[in-house]
Structure 1
């Protein structure tokens, strides 16, 4: 069996762009006609650049190769250009192509991928979602506390047992910084009111997107501790695991992080500095399914857990589901609501979500099939904006009444 071609689709996500501005899907094909799909979680370059880069990596490192040889592919890509170090863009490309290889491997074997990486451990996967509160006009109003409480109650009644929110913005390229007292008051109010509303039926997951200094994160954590969140997510920017460890050492809230990290090397550095007890690798960035499995194994030796990050499309979600199903130290899987809306439309059959849990598919490979008609109707992506973005301006202590910062796609 040999790989003969790659095709890339850059799918424009319709407003309100839940899951990002676009999704990058790759389809590999073998000489005996088996196709496998994967997803690249792109960040730093426009997708026009990524399409060319994906083709380059395929042509140099995968064309004519056996898709079973994922370890060989990873090492060649990791060392490409005499680098041998984590590279965010290269590992994003590797992740998508690698999960497409696993899709082919599973289809050829007639088995779900999870049966090939250790076998099923979890019959169902606990899931959580961000809160997506809507105002009277139908727009998302993330900064509205009353609407967020209503949304939390709605999601709880649907079956969710964990809810995420991040009212401490804005996110600036200049961070980390100290939050204003208004930001901290609002953050504490969100935790207090949502805790009062859901009681002990839901865990609270507090996100910050790496915007604070160590001391600033500790100040906020102490305000949130009385409401016992399950985690304090990415309290400082990625890149300094020792500093993340200093935050974790000064709060009773478990620290979760990892969506912007890649490869086992960066996660090992995080673990050895006691920077987090919950690892949030994104399977479309970390290096693929096998690399994600290695990260999970590292976490297991530190008695840490994994909670795979997912703010992209359903192909990356399908890969995360395969890993989570075969992982004993799995905690919870990020979902985007109940995998409805556009996440369901781009698949022939949507991911299965029931009463707060994802039900792993027993179909071969990743267990999904792309809906080519829908994908072609939303391709190519023509906007100039990246998947997500931050403010270019420094943090403004007097701009907290302006809620437009929450739309990260602008």
Structure 2
């Protein structure tokens, strides 16, 4: 079996854009007619540029390759241009291609990917969601009452963990010291949510790498009274020794990983004891097999896995297949209850009931991209917005 075609879809996410402004999905087709899908999580360059880069890599390494030889293909792509080091853009593209290969292998074998990774240890998966602003509650990150109401709503429909990040905007000049306003707002919102949900849900506090170690410790000590399950990315992502300073000085478990790529960067978390909860994004960390290796390193280090998802449903389906196999799984991230545009994009929507996902038993990823929906919703960049990317940061310091 050989790969004969590689096609990339750049899909515009419908408002309210939960999961990002766009999704980048790669499709591989083999000479036997088997099709596989993967999703790329690259945020630093425009998605149409990514699509061009996919074509370049496919022409060099993917076309005519055997999709069963995933490790070999991965190493060939990773060494391209004499790199052999973590590169978020290259490895993000590789991740989507690798994911699509697994989808092909599973479909060809007639088995879900989870069966090819050692089999399921979980028949259902615990999920969490962000507290997303909406028309009824637009100010969940500045208004404690609205945050509490939104958290109570999510818990009422089955979630037993909710994530929120009220510590102010993140900036190109992170890390910084939280202001008194940042601290007081964070304390007020976290306290209101805890009072609203009681012990029915874990609280997941996010910061997006905003703070210096000293600043993160200062904030964490104010939040400890509410017993959050995790303190996410308290410092910049590429300095595990600084994150370890925070981990040593707070009772809140530290979580990180959405911006890390390859087993090398995750292994550094173990060496420094920087975080006890690891959050690989399968569209950036290297793909499904890389994430399985990362989970094994975490297991040997006494750490748990909570796959990150601020992307589309193909990546979500990959998270589910991997997560079902992990003995050290904590939970997976969802985009609310997996309905809306995420469900429209799939031939078989992800099954979610009472806060838990039921992993598909269909071959490969267990679902496929609805190409008609994808083609009907192309992403159109905003020509007047130079920062029109999947995610953005404030370009100036926060005063």
Q: TM-score under structure 1 normalisation?
A: 0.95
Q: Which residue of 2 aligns with 1:404?
A: none
- Which residue in 2 is equivalent to 1:96? 96
Q: What is the SS of the residue equivalent to 1:267? A: helix
1:388 to 371, 384, 391: 391
2:237 maps to which residue?
238
1:162 corresponds to: 161
Match of 2:182 in 1: 183
Deviations 1:96-139 (A, max 9, x none): 00000000000000000000011011110000000124244x75
Partner of 2:127: 127
Q: In structure 2, what is the Cα distance between the partners aligned to 1:253 and 1:345?
A: 38
Q: Residues 179-214 of structure 1, C-alpha deviation per residue, up to 9 Å, x if partnerless?
A: 111110110111111111111110000000000000
Q: What SS class does the counterpart of residue 56 from structure 2 fall into?
A: helix
SS in 1 for 2:162: strand
8 Å Cα contact 2:147-2:192 kept in structure 1: no
Distance in 2 (CA, whole Å) between partners of 1:97 and 1:222 is 43
Aligned counterparts of 1:96 and 1:74: Cα–Cα separation in 2: 11
Q: Structure 2: give runs of 5+ residues left out of the alignment.
A: none
Cα drift, residue 68 of structure 1: 0.7
| Aligned twin of 1:367 | 366
Alpha-carbon RMSD: 1.1
The aligned counterpart of 2:342 is: 343
Deviates more, 1:331-340 or 1:374-383: 374-383
Determine the C-alpha separation between the residues in 1 that align with 2:275 and 2:16.
32
Q: Please name the residue that 2:112 is paired with.
A: 112
Deviation of residue 143 (structure 1)?
2.5
Q: Equivalent residue of 1:369, what SS?
A: coil
Distance 2:203 2:140 in 1: 19
Inter-CA distance 133–43: structure 2 relative to 1 (3 Å threshold) = closer
Q: Give the corresponding residue for 1:70.
A: 70
* Corresponding residue for residue 294 of structure 1: 293
Q: What residue number does 2:218 align with?
A: 219
Unpaired runs of 5+ in structure 1? Answer: 397-410
- 1:102 counterpart SS class: helix
Q: Equivalent residue of 1:193, what SS?
A: helix
The aligned residue for residue 266 of structure 2 is: 267
Matches of 2:278 and 2:265, distance apart in 1: 11
Question: CA shift at 1:349, angstroms?
Answer: 2.2
- The answer on whether the counterparts of 1:22 and 1:381 sit within 8 Å (CA) in structure 2 is no
CA contact (8 A) 2:143 2:189 kept: no
**Deviations along 1:35-61, whole A, 9 cap, x unmatched?**
000000011111121011001111111
Conserved in 1, the CA contact under 8 Å of 2:13 and 2:379? no
Kindly provide the CA deviation profile for residues 311-336 of structure 1, in whole angstroms up to 9, marking residues without a partner as x: 00000000011110011100000001
Question: Partner residue of 1:250?
Answer: 249
Q: In structure 1, the residue corresponding to 2:190 is in which secondary structure?
A: helix
In structure 1, what is the Cα distance between the partners aligned to 2:49 and 2:188? 42
Kindly state the Cα deviation for residue 379 of structure 1 after the two structures are TM-superposed.
1.1
Matches of 1:89 and 1:4, distance apart in 2: 24
SS at match of 1:27: strand
Q: TM-score, normalised by structure 2?
A: 0.97
Aligned residues: 395
Distance in 1, matches of 2:38 and 2:146, equals 36
CA distance in 1: counterparts of 2:71 and 2:380, whole angstroms = 32
Runs of 4+ in 1 over 6 A off after TM superposition: none
Distance, in Å, in 2 between the alignment partners of 1:392 and 1:191 is 27
